[in-house]
Amino acid sequence: MKKKLRDFIFQELVFVTDPKRFGDDDDLLEAGLDSMGIMRLIMFIENEHGVTLPDTEIEPDNVRSLNALEHWILRHKKE
């Protein structure tokens, strides 16, 4: 799951010199993920993983890192 997220984020939404050096807990918001990017990311996640991520949960803590995104997705995959 994280590989697909990582690939999409660094190919489509955020430019970093060396994505391989970007850690799973590194801050995506500081790296340049903006509100439009977050919306595109959520649409990608919902299509790719067949989950619905509630608008009420779109907050920095859920999108700040690859690990945070993975936890958010897994919470909703169980429902």
Taking the chain (79 residues) in runs of 10, the rounded mean pLDDT of each run is 93 88 94 95 94 94 96 87
Asked if 29 contacts 12 with a C-beta cutoff of 8 angstroms, the reply is no
| Cα–Cα distance, 19 to 5 (Å, whole number) | 12
Domains detected in the chain: 24-79 (1.10.1200.10)
- Amino acid in position 33: L
For the stretch 12-44, what's the b/e string if a residue is b when 16 or more beta carbons lie within 10 angstroms of its beta carbon?
A: ebbeeeeeeebeeeeebeebebeeebbebbbeb
pLDDT at 38: 96
pLDDT at 79: 60
Asked if 12 contacts 43 with a C-beta cutoff of 8 angstroms, the reply is no
